[in-house]
Structure 1
Amino acid sequence: MDLLKFVQEEYIERKEFPKFGAGDTITVYYKIVEGAKERVQFFRGVVLQRRGSGATETFTIRKISGNIGVERIFPVNLPTIEKIEMNKKAKVRRARIFYQRERTGKAARIKERRM
């Protein structure tokens, strides 16, 4: 067995998160440390992509904050992630929906799939 894969499987803590993909709206709760204080902050938005596999898997979330698009990339195995909540499932035809960046208003709607 590959040494790198062995170390990743043995020592990296895996958390159970719901299955989600591109187009889904999710909320990520993550811990922020400021000096001696800790707090949990959330980031709610549409998943643009999931990429990678194993320990290096990441996902990109996009939200609109005051008419400005904000994107954030989270590693799946980030130790500061408390939980991930599914808000909406979506029906999209691509694994990476970067075309959402240019769309606004009604054109930016994504068809919802009932959970």
Structure 2
Amino acid sequence: MIKNCYLKNLPILIMQKSLVSYNSTLNIEDKFLKKNLPILKIGDKIKVGLKIIEGNKERVQSYIGIIIAKKNSSINSTITVRKSLQETGIERVFLIHSPKIDSITVLQSSKVRRSKLYFLRNLKGKASRLRQIF
């Protein structure tokens, strides 16, 4: 009889422990999440301001490109930004809530029908343009 009671209470104890650990991680993440981010969509042309430390000086360098992929997982949310420089495509993955990112501004929005714009990797020049939303 005692074993049956113990086994019946076991799932409840396990569930309570997992909720406690889940809530504590949420509270820790809330401290580091940025609050003043714009709404980022696939196909947006954005300007990312990065903090760069050179020696003992700190400056902000801007990176302008199109969002081709986005991954949402709370504090680990990332965006992949692609820019073309002299017929060469450069992609960079940014951690949105990183302290190295100073600012993100949306310059232009585009109408897209895909969630990942990896097809832009094969296009060059005017072919890689997206339809703009006004």
TM value normalised by structure 1: 0.91
In structure 1, give the amino acid aligned to 2:25: L
* Aligned twin of 1:70: 90
1:8 maps to which of 21, 29, 45: 29
- 1:26-57 per-residue CA deviation (whole Å, 9 max, x = no partner) reads 00011100110111100000000110320010
Runs (4 or more) in structure 1 with deviation over 3 Å come to none
Question: Across the two proteins, how many residue pairs are aligned to each other?
Answer: 113
Give the aligned partner of residue 26 of structure 1: 46
Q: Name the Cα RMSD after superposition.
A: 1.3
More helix per residue:
2
Which of the pair has the greater relative contact order for Cα pairs under 8 Å at 6+ separation? 1
Alignment counterpart, residue 53 of structure 1, candidates 64, 73, 80:
73
SS at match of 1:29: strand
CA-to-partner distance for each residue in 1:68-109, whole Å, 9 max, x for gaps? 111111001011211111111010001111001001123211
Equivalent in 81, 101, 107 of residue 87 of structure 1: 107
Q: Quote how far apart the aligned CAs of 1:18 are.
A: 1.2
Q: Name the counterpart of 2:7.
A: none
| Structure 1 unaligned regions, length at least 5 | none
Q: Distance in 2 between matches of 1:103 and 1:90?
A: 17
Q: Are the counterparts in 1 of residues 33 and 75 from structure 2 also a CA contact under 8 Å? A: no
Q: 2:58 aligns with which of 26, 35, 38?
A: 38
Conserved in 2, the CA contact under 8 Å of 1:28 and 1:44? yes
Structure 2: how far apart are the matches of 1:53 and 1:16? Answer: 17
Q: % of aligned pairs identical?
A: 33
